[in-house]
Every structure is written in structure tokens, then in C-alpha cells.
Structure 1
């Protein structure tokens, strides 16, 4: 799906530093200063239009949330949602996930969410998948020991690939659902894509993978 360019997006992002974090490299080890309360920080990589991260923040006021999105033309939609919601425990970051270790100290992030990531189905694009081993290393670098990744997708191929990738990395699969919306899982908050795909009859896959101490 072609992304509609919004040439005004960058300027709008700069107008709202209270919602979109600037100079993240200066916050390494100090992210608690960005939020009103010093509490666990969960991040969503590829936050899209921000529905998931905003609703999670509303439902869990004792947790701080950060939505990480690379595309300026997408993150402005999440920004509009935050401005309207006025939720104090959620912020946005316009950045590339490969740079996360430059922004966060080890253990500074308590959980990582990956929701409906680009599947990059061609083999030559494997390294771009957010569950590829190099990305898992990035998440491990910012999560505490035994930190978790919570992953959802409607793409069966990506899900199977990701389960294999998690296992090959030595992670523990704590929860696996091959049909989330017909499971007993409680408290699921849908993303915009999730609602769209499930209405079409697509199955939603979900898993929780936990890093394990090596050596």
C-alpha cells in the first residue's frame, strides 16, 4: 500500500515536543524524566496511527508508553490521536528502530510490542523483518534480563518465521495463539490494521517471547 506523502508532517511534529520526543540520544538512562510519573516503560515499534499505544496507556495508567514510528507521514496521525486523548503516560518518537540502543540504557525499556509489522516476504529482504536476529539483539540490549516481546500479526508466514527466529535466538515462547480473537486471551487492544483484517475474516496470530540468560 502506497504511503501518502504529507510534506507538512515534519513541521507539525516539531510544533508538539510535549508529545513527540526530540533528541532521544540525550535521554539515554533518563527516560523517566519525560513522563509525569517514574514507572515502567513499554514501547511499540511501528506504532502506525497510534490506536494501540494510546488505548494501552488509557487502560494501564501505571505504565509509561512510547510509540516508535519511522514515517513522518504516519506518526502525525498518531500525534492527532494523542492531542485529542490527552493521556499523560504516552509519547511518540519519530525514529528508526535500528538506533534504539543509542537512545535507551540496558533495562530501561520493560517490554517491546511488535504489531502488524511489515512482513517483507521476499527472502532477500529478510534482514528488514523486525523479528530478524539483528533486531532481536537490539531489543535484548534495551530490555532487562528476561524481558519480553509481545508480537501480533495477521501474516501466517511472518508469524511462523518469527516463532522460528525467537526459538533460534534462545528465547522462551510463553504464549502462542493461532487465532487470537477466538481464544481465551483477555484484555486485547486492537490496532487499526487488526480491526480491518479481522473484519475481513483473517486470523490474528499472537505470541509472547521472553529472552533467556545466555551462557
Structure 2
């Protein structure tokens, strides 16, 4: 969902280049090491962070890790940045860019986990290649992630969930966890679940939340 433009958000983003990378050149790898206090920490990326409730909560809860919010909209990036500054989340960086270029922004084997939360379902068949669980995106995630890298996915869209299950299976991924009603299943995953803004909205209406965790097979197999 596209957010209404907020001038304050644009201004805030422009004032903090140390926290937000805007429109990076896909031909130049980003020096992430210089943007974190300790780049030896595990690195986790959320693709499509929206207003950032999920990624900022993660960064606050796990100060021993580094996090990157990848978000295309400037207003959304500004909202995330405001929270980052208010909570002094030094382990969080924001990048305003297109997820289609994710393999250009990160070195191979550089991240430990990628999150896909409530991505645009792109329901029309002709838009299949835009879905963030399409095989070309999976190949890019595998490049960025370390061997046996983890992918976590949540959605309220049953069609996208069914498609994603098939796409990941066809890609040869291993499923560690699958749920068709995350909020009504008693499990350890739910105990540690962090809600996004969309998730809270849909779950409060008693709509099922679909989730899966999967790992890539080692690249040298």
C-alpha cells in the first residue's frame, strides 16, 4: 500500500544520510561495515518494511544483531527513521531502494536471515515475476544469504501463500515451519512472533495469518 506523501518524512530522511541510503547505484556494492558499530554481528534484512514496526522491534529486542530495513517509499523510510532516532537504534540501517536489486546492494554470503512480511501479492498471472517469492528473487536471496540462509515469510493472502509454498519447494528449499493460522496455533514460533502493522490489523479481525520459515540448501551441493 502506497503511503500518502509526508513532507516531514522526506525532510528527515534527507537530513540523515548516516542512517538512510537513498537510490543506491546497483553497480557499486555498499560499504555496510562502515555504517555499523560492529559489522561482525549477525545481519538480518527485512524486504519491504512499511512503517517499520517489525524491524524496529527486532532491532530493539536484539541489540547483539544488525538489521537493515529495505523499503522503496520515502515516507515509509522516514517513519522508520523517526523510530530509529527516538529509540537510538544504532544497530539499524535503512535503505530506500528496489528489492529487485538486492543482490547488487549486498556482498555474497553477507546476511544471516531475510524477512518477507505481507508483501504485495501481485495476484494477476502476468505479474508473477514481481512476487517477492518468485524464483528469480529466491536466487538473489540465496546469493545474499550465507550457506543454509534462512527466509521467513508472513502474509494474510492465501493465494500468495500457496504460490510461495510451491515456488520455494520447486526451488529446492527446506521447510522448517509452516502455518496456515499462526495466531491460533500453540507453538514456540508464536511465542517469539513480532507483529507488523498489517498483521495486527488482520489478526484483530480474526483473519488467518499464514507463515513459513525455510532454508536454502548449501550452495556447493
Q: What is the TM-score with the length of structure 1 in the denominator?
A: 0.92
Corresponding residue number in structure 1 for 2:38: 37
Question: How many residues are aligned here?
Answer: 215
Corresponding residue number in structure 2 for 1:12: 12
The answer to whether the aligner puts 1:204 opposite 2:184 as a matched pair is: no
8 Å CA contact 1:108–1:143 kept in 2: the answer is yes
| Whole-Å separation in 2 of the counterparts to 1:29 and 1:192 | 29
1:39-188 equivalence runs, <5 A: 39-183=41-185, 184=187, 185=189, 186-188=191-193
8 Å CA contact 1:112–1:150 kept in 2: the answer is yes
* Structure 2 gap ranges (5+): none
Higher share in strand: 2
1:167, distance to aligned residue in structure 2 (A): 0.4
| Whole-Å separation in 2 of the counterparts to 1:148 and 1:3 | 29
Give CA deviations for 1:140-192 in whole Å, capped at 9, x if unaligned. 11111111110011111111110100000111111111111122122111111
* Structure 1 gap ranges (5+): none
SS in 2 for 1:110: strand
Structure 1 segments of 4+ aligned residues over 2 angstroms from their partners: 5-12, 21-30
| Whole-Å separation in 2 of the counterparts to 1:59 and 1:80 | 17
Corresponding residue number in structure 2 for 1:195: 200
